[in-house]
Amino acid sequence: MSTHPNRRSVLAVGTAATAAYLLPTGTAAAADRNTPASRPRPTKIPLSQNGWEIQNRTNHASTVLTRSVSGTGLRVDVRIGLPELLLLHIARRFHYEVQELRTGDLQGWSRIGRTPLTSPASNLSSGTALRIVPGARASGSYFPWQVERIRVIVADCAGAVRWGGDDAAADLSLYYLTAGPS
């Protein structure tokens, strides 16, 4: 007689082991398999300062897409939907009423990097913010009449958009949504 196991004996042992695992004799074994630690956990996506989900990339499996700002010849990465509508409106009006925008004057989505999630600049990583003329971050970057026009443009958004120039740590280039998706 052969000492090697045959196919039937291997299947019988495998079936018995599977049945022993799937059909536990006590409730403790069933409870052990259903503990939160044993279930796969959904990955929690971090939120930017205004409550929108951070996006890791654009234009591929993302809600952040490259969009044209009409009348400017420029394109920018923004979150589609209401954020897109508001931010492109701000950029277009800025172009016509404050200062003509040129290549490099418009920045949308960017990776979160080391930006704190509590900072208004984190909104760039969710596609819900723009930098218009990124070099104009410091106070005094605009003439008084330009600041007045910026305030009018932002006020026309009925509180849905905030200008970084009005923040305690002023950033005159930053425009961002004030509320989350809900």
**Residue carrying the six token digits 């059909």:** 23
**Residue carrying the six token digits 């996506």:** 45
User: How does pLDDT run along the chain (182 residues), one tens digit per residue?
Assistant: 556 666 555 455 554 444 444 444 444 444 455 555 555 666 788 999 999 999 988 988 789 999 999 999 999 999 999 999 999 999 999 999 999 999 999 999 999 888 888 889 999 999 999 999 998 877 778 999 999 999 999 999 999 999 999 999 999 999 999 999 98
pTM reported for the whole predicted model:
0.75
Q: Tell me the two tokens of residue 86.
A: 């508001």
Q: Tell me the two tokens of residue 6.
A: 């045959």
Per residue in 138-147, is it b (16+ CB within 10 Å) or e — as a string?
eeeebeeebb
pLDDT value at residue 61: 76
Tell me phi and psi for residue 137, to 5 degrees.
Answer: -85, -30
